[in-house]
Amino acid sequence: MREQGLQFSVGLDLYEYVREAILNTREQDWAPAITQQGEEREGAAVCELKDLDLSSWPPGTRAICRRERPHPGAQLKFTDVNGFRFQVFITDQEDKDIAQLEARHRGHARVENRIRCGKAAGLENLPFHDFMPNCVWLELVLAAQDLIAFFQNLCLRGEAQQWDPKAAALPPVPHRGPCCPHRSSPIPQVAAELAMDPILYDAFRRLRRLEAAA
């Protein structure tokens, strides 16, 4: 990774020597953790484990620990001390703001959300027997993911940016063959309902402004 000019940030298991380093950390060495938006995260704190032996890792490797009160009803583990839950990661990033480093590392969970989004967009099953048609299918799924991601970031706000595309999918169009000639498609009705949604209405207003600016 270093030969490629890359830096790393990976989780570290709570081995005995890691837990010992956590418990030896002074209370004044803990600093408030922050959210992805840079605001203070209630009940969470971070510190750098200075006494941890990282000599087997590349020079400059640091260990950052986060402690947090579990949500009500969560079952504590034997590694949880004084009601705190601990997570540790190691990194060779030189940033002095360990709260920012920890927030950046924790934000990697969005990758799992993108994988779930990809499955909802068609990545869960490859429909063809041959390799090349499946390659085309994969490119279409990736294009759909790009469209969803850009729409979420540019047009939606708040919790709507985390909407799951599978939960928001339109219902399937019913078969309109001889067996049900008078059965109408639900899509116009669904489209009308979506148009009345204030969040989506605001999102499409932003989309029109982006189109006009382009």
What would the pLDDT profile of 33-73 be if each residue is shown by its tens digit? 998 778 888 889 999 998 888 999 988 999 999 998 876 66
What is the pTM assigned to this prediction? 0.55
Q: Are residues 62 and 96 in the same domain?
A: yes
Q: Are residues 15 and 93 in the same domain?
A: yes
Task: Give the model confidence (pLDDT) of 122-142 as tens digits.
Answer: 888 899 999 999 999 999 999
Provide the 3-class DSSP secondary structure of residue 122.
helix
Q: Are residues 95 and 129 in the same domain?
A: no
Q: How far is residue 55's CA from residue 37's CA, in Å, rounded to a whole number?
A: 34
Q: Which of 55, 80, 108 is the C-terminal boundary of a domain?
A: 108
Please report the beta strands in 49-188, taking only residues with DSSP state E, as ranges in sequence order. Answer: 62-68, 85-91
Q: Are residues 91 and 180 in the same domain?
A: no
Q: What is the pLDDT of residue 3?
A: 85
Q: What is the pLDDT of residue 79?
A: 54
Q: Are residues 62 and 91 in the same domain?
A: yes
Q: How confident is the model at residue 173 (pLDDT cuts 50, 70, 90)?
A: very low
**115, part of any domain:** no
Provide the 3-class DSSP secondary structure of residue 81.
strand
Which H/E stretch holds residue 189? helix 187-196
What percent of the chain has a predicted confidence (pLDDT) above 90? 27
Q: Which of 108, 135, 167 is the C-terminal boundary of a domain?
A: 108
| Enclosing domain of residue 45 | 9-108
* Of 27-31, 127-131, 205-209, the least confident: 205-209
Q: How far is residue 107's CA from residue 145's CA, in Å, rounded to a whole number?
A: 19
* Of 41-45, 125-129, 147-151, 199-203, the least confident: 199-203
Task: Give the model confidence (pLDDT) of 111-120 as tens digits.
Answer: 777 888 888 8
Please report the beta strands in the chain, taking only residues with DSSP state E, as ranges in sequence order. Answer: 9-12, 31-34, 40-48, 62-68, 85-91
Q: Are residues 59 and 90 in the same domain?
A: yes
Please give the span between the terminal C-alpha atoms of the chain, in angstroms, as a whole number.
39
Q: What is the pLDDT of residue 175?
A: 47
Q: Are residues 86 and 147 in the same domain?
A: no
Q: How far is residue 98's CA from residue 101's CA, in Å, rounded to a whole number?
A: 5
Which is nearest to 31 in space by CA: 104, 79, 93, 102? 102
From residue 118, alpha-carbon distances to 13, 15, 134, 148, 167 in Å are: 29, 35, 15, 10, 13
Q: How far is residue 74's CA from residue 43's CA, in Å, rounded to a whole number?
A: 15
Q: Are residues 39 and 100 in the same domain?
A: yes
Instruction: Decide if 169 contacts 186 (C-beta within 8 A).
Output: no
- Ramachandran class of 38: left when φ > 0, alpha when ψ lies in -120 to 50, beta otherwise: left
Which is nearest to 133 in space by CA: 115, 121, 141, 117? 141
